[in-house]
Structure 1
Amino acid sequence: MASRRRMLLKVIILGDSGFVNRKFSNQYKATIGADFLTKEIWDTAGQERFQSLGVTFYRGADCCVLVYDVNVLKSFDNLNNWREEFLIQASPDDPENFPFVVLGNKVDVEVSEKKAKAWCASKGNIPYFETSAKEGFNVDAAFECITKNALKNEPEEEM
């Protein structure tokens, strides 16, 4: 019997306000092999007023993207808070293996990645990408990784 995967993934983007700046499309289509997938992107842009939506907003996510500004140390330091808040609110079945991806944004301005890679390694080898939403640098590669990570624990359904 043939098997298939879901075609819609829920991806949550978290990070301090202003670092995503609506540069990522709300629906991002990509292909993995011959499968077409649609990613439903949920982004609060770090606005505190959306924190009361936590459970509703985070629950059912297939992957969480943590974004910080490579030029603002405080935005990097806040990644741990965002990750913990997500794990509390989303209550994934397997928090240790839930797929996260870290994006260090605004690399078109200045790059600083050593500390970010160390943080990702300490949290279970979370994939790390430096991106520029403004220039479109490394965005496609990051979203391909996001898709693969969201699907890696997804059981194939019998048709």
Structure 2
Amino acid sequence: MASRRRMLLKVIILGDSGVGKTSIMNQFVNRKFSNQYKATIGADFLTKEVQVDDMLFTLQVQIWDTAGQERFQSLGVAFYRGADCCVLVYDVNVMKSFENLNNWREEFLIQANPSDLENFPFVVLGNKIDVDGGSSRMVSEKKAKTWCASKGNIPYFETSAKEGFNVEAAFQCIARNALKDEPEEELYLPETIDRATNRQRSTGCEC
């Protein structure tokens, strides 16, 4: 039986608008998908207990998306700080969303300013592999893996938020990466954490 620990792991999900960040989060936490699209403006987050090596942890999955709204961009520093892992998401059918991964990665490192820039854990998700049965795909798996290898062998997963494909496996990897260098004393949840954090605080669904 897994032992329970009151430990919080903060995971930030970044990527272009429309790549499926909210849908991936909802599929992981609630096992639900919506075809309705409404861009997330600002921040959105959900929490879920995850089990890693017979230990249960609270994974807080957060999305940051300004959708071009400049008034939100200055809030990024506070949002990124304290993250244990950053997930970069692109749409395999949109080359530009893949090309922008480097910008998202660099922005995160600048804003979050982690203590170890070279070894901070990232995970890359190539989403929407289900679209048109793969016939509209623009970014090959090989191309994505080559980019990940060039950035320090970032773990890479191809996912379908709609069908739930590889989402659970990806978040198991994300949780392990978030855990690997964290001092235990920094992970305990404060007693003031809102008991309602399992409720979605969303401004819309992104699919």
For the superposition of Structure 1 and Structure 2, which TM-score range results when normalised by the shorter chain?
A: 0.7 to 0.9
Distance 1:29 1:52, change over 3 A: closer
Distance 1:67 1:146, change over 3 A: same
Please give the root-mean-square deviation of Cα atoms over the aligned residues, in Å. Answer: 7.3
Q: Conserved in 1, the CA contact under 8 Å of 2:15 and 2:101?
A: yes
User: Unmatched 5+ residue regions in structure 2?
Assistant: 20-28, 50-62, 133-138, 187-207
Q: CA deviation at 1:155?
A: 2.3
TM-score, normalisation: structure 2 = 0.61
Q: Percent identity?
A: 91
More displaced 10-residue stretch of structure 1: 29-38 or 40-49: 29-38
Q: Conserved in 1, the CA contact under 8 Å of 2:41 and 2:66?
A: no
TM-score, normalisation: structure 1 = 0.78
Q: Conserved in 2, the CA contact under 8 Å of 1:8 and 1:38?
A: no
Q: CA deviation at 1:156?
A: 3.2
Distance 1:34 1:153, change over 3 A: farther
Partner deviation per Cα, 1:8-40 (whole Å, 9 max, x = no partner)? 111110000011999789999999999999559
More displaced 10-residue stretch of structure 1: 1-10 or 54-63: 1-10
Q: Conserved in 1, the CA contact under 8 Å of 2:42 and 2:72?
A: no
User: Unmatched 5+ residue regions in structure 1?
Assistant: none
Partner deviation per Cα, 1:35-80 (whole Å, 9 max, x = no partner)? 9995596566786653221211100111000000001000000000
Q: Conserved in 1, the CA contact under 8 Å of 2:12 and 2:87?
A: yes
Residue 136 of structure 2 corresponds to: none
More displaced 10-residue stretch of structure 1: 96-105 or 46-55: 46-55
- The structure 1 residue matched to 2:36, chosen from 13, 17, 27, is 27
Q: Conserved in 2, the CA contact under 8 Å of 1:131 and 1:138?
A: yes
Distance 1:35 1:77, change over 3 A: closer
Distance 1:144 1:3, change over 3 A: closer
Partner deviation per Cα, 1:90-143 (whole Å, 9 max, x = no partner)? 000001110100000001126721111001000000000000111111000000
Which runs of 4 or more aligned residues in structure 1 lie more than 2 Å from their structure 2 counterparts after TM superposition? 1-6, 20-51, 155-158
